[in-house]
Amino acid sequence: MGNAVAIIGTGQTRHGRRSDACYPDLVREAVTAALEDAGITLADIDGVVLGTMPSMMEGVSSTHFYFAEALGSVGKPVLKVETCGSTGQSIGHCGFFWVASGMADIVLVVGSEKMSEGDGQATMTTVFDPFFQRTFAAGAPGVFTMQSMEWMYRFGIPEEKGREAAALISVSNHDNAMDNPHAHIRMRVTMDEVKNARVITYPVRLLDVCPASDGACAVVFASQKAVRKSGRKPAWIRGLGFRGEEFFYGESDKAVWMSATEAAGEAYRQAGIRDPLKELDVAEVYNPFTYQEMIFYECFGFCPRGEAPDYVLRGTFLKGGELPCCPSGGTLCTNPIGATGLIRMAEAALQVTGKAGERQVEGAKLALSHAMGGVDQFNGITIVGSTL
C-alpha cells in the first residue's frame, strides 16, 4: 500500500441551498475549516486535488482553474479528478496515492458541488451515450429504480417487505441527520409519510430520494512524519478499493453488482477484514436512494444476497445496531455530488478519531466509507482506522 497515510483534518460547509455564497467562496469555506482542523496553513500543503461532477453541472469548465485561489493551489501542483458520483472517493484515493508514493507529505483534497445552480438530472442524462441509451434515460431515479426492481425480482423479495425496509432506511437517515449540523435536510419523517410520499419512479417515492445540495468538503492527507508534527489524532487509511464496469447499462449484472462487490473485497483484503459486519464499527454508505442502500449492504458482505431487507428490519444498521450505517444522515439527506463521496470519507475519519459530536458511534475504531458513480458503473471504498 505504499507509505502510511492518515487523514489529519476535515472541513465541511453547511450544506443545503447556499445562494448566500458564490461557488469559490463555498469551496474556501470547506478549505478553511479543514486547515483549522488539521492545525496547518496553506504553506504546509504540497499539492491539491479537486473533484466535481461534469462541468456542465454549474456551467463552468475546469473548475480547478476557477477555484485556484479558494483551493490555495496557486504556486502548487493541482489535479482534477472526476468519476461522477464516486468522485469523492476517487479524489480521496488520489490524495492517498500522492502521499503514499512519498512524493508529498501533505495533500489537500477538495470535493464540491453547487447543485442549486444547474439542472442536476440534465447533467446526469449526458452521462448516458448519445446514440443508444440517452433517449430512455430518466435521470438518476430511472436507473436506480430499474436496478432496484431487478434486484427485488432476482432474489424474490416481496414488494411489501422491500417497501417497509426502504421506509425504515429513510426514517433512520432523517433521524440521524438531525444530529449532523452540516446536513441539508433536517426533519423527522414517519414510516407512513415515506410510504405515502409522491411517487418519483415507482416504487421509489420522494422520501426515498436524496436532495440536490450545495456544499463542499476538504480533507487533509498526511504522511507519518506530518502526522507526528501536526499532533492531531490521525484516521489511518487501512484499505481502499475502486472498480469500474462496462459502460452500457444492461451489459453487466446490477443485481449483484461486480464493481461494488470487488471494490469492497479489495479494501477488505488490504485492511485484513474477514467479517465486515463484525469487524467494522460504522459505515458511511453512499445512499442517494433507499432501495439501493440495501444492494450495497449485500455487495459489501454485511449480509447474504437477498437478505438485506430482513437485516434492515431487524435493526442491524440502526444507531445502536450491530453495524450502524450513515450516522451522518447519509447521502439521502445531503448530496452535493462532487463532495458527497469525500463527505463519507470525512465522516468515517471523524468517527474513528472520536470527533463526530452528536453523531458519534461510541468507541468506533474501524469505519468504511463509499461512493458510487456514473450509470451504476463505478464504486469506490476507503476504510479508515484509529490505528495503523
Q: Does 150 bind another protein (CB under 8 A)?
A: yes
Assess 137 for contact with another protein (CB under 8 A).
Answer: yes
- What is the helix, strand, coil percentage profile of the chain, to 5? 40, 20, 40
Binding test (CB under 8 A) with another protein, winner from 39, 141, 321, 354: 141
249 binds another protein (CB under 8 A): yes
**Applying CB under 8 A, which part among 3-11, 124-132, 170-178, 345-353 lies near another protein?**
124-132
Of the ranges 76-84, 143-151, 172-180, 264-272, which one interacts with another protein (CB under 8 A)?
143-151
Q: How many CA atoms lie within 13 A of 272 on its CB side?
A: 7
Assess 135 for contact with another protein (CB under 8 A): yes
If one counts every other C-beta atom within 10 angstroms of the C-beta of residue 121, the result is: 14
Among positions 147, 261, 377, 386, the unique one binding another protein when judged by CB under 8 A: 147
Residues in binding contact with another protein, number by CB under 8 A: 36
CB 38 within 8 A of CB 232: yes
Question: Is residue 200 a contact point for another protein (CB under 8 A)?
Answer: yes
DSSP string, 205-224: EGGGBPPP-EEEEEEEEEEH
Candidates 31-39, 141-149, 261-269, 327-335; binding stretch for another protein (CB under 8 A): 141-149
308-315 own/partner pairs: CB under 8 Å, 24+ apart: 308/165, 309/157, 309/161, 309/162, 309/164, 309/165, 310/161, 310/165, 312/165, 312/168, 312/169, 313/161, 313/164, 313/165, 313/168
Q: Is 266 in the site for another protein (CB under 8 A)?
A: no
- C-alpha 321/C-alpha 333 separation (Å) is 20
Tell whether residue 248 is a contact of another protein (CB under 8 A): yes
In angstroms, give the least distance from the CB of 61 to another protein. 9
Q: Applying CB under 8 A, which of residues 74, 122, 187, 191 lies at the interface with another protein? A: 122
Instruction: Identify the bridge partners of residue 373 per DSSP, sorted by sequence position.
Output: 378
Stretch that binds another protein, among 76-84, 95-103, 122-130, 261-269 (CB under 8 A): 122-130
Which residue in 101, 55, 51, 50 sits closest to 73, CA to CA? 50
Please state, in angstroms and rounded to a whole number, the distance separating the CA atoms of residues 356 and 342: 15
- CA nearest to 5, candidates 82, 93, 72, 90: 93
Please tell me whether residue 346 adopts helix, strand or coil conformation: helix
Q: Which of 4, 42, 146, 178 binds another protein (CB under 8 A)?
A: 146
Cβ partners under 8 Å of residue 119, min gap 6: none
Interface residue with another protein among 202, 231, 320, 387 (CB under 8 A) is 202
Contact characters 292-321, another protein, x per CB under 8 A: ------------------------------
Q: How far is the CB of 122 from another protein (least distance, A)?
A: 4
CB of 262 to another protein, least distance (A): 14
Among 130, 156, 231, 320, binds another protein (CB under 8 A): 130
Provide the grid cell at 34: 479543514
135 close to 118: Cβ distance less than 8 angstroms: no
Verify binding: residue 160, another protein, rule CB under 8 A.
no
Contact call for residue 66 and another protein (CB under 8 A): no
Position 250: which residue type? G
Q: Which is nearer to another protein, 200 or 333 (CB)?
A: 200
Q: Kindly tell me which of 260 and 356 has the beta carbon lying closer to another protein.
A: 260
Residues in contact with another protein by CB under 8 A are: 17, 19-20, 56, 59, 119, 121-122, 125, 130-133, 135-139, 141-142, 145-147, 149-150, 153, 199-202, 246-251
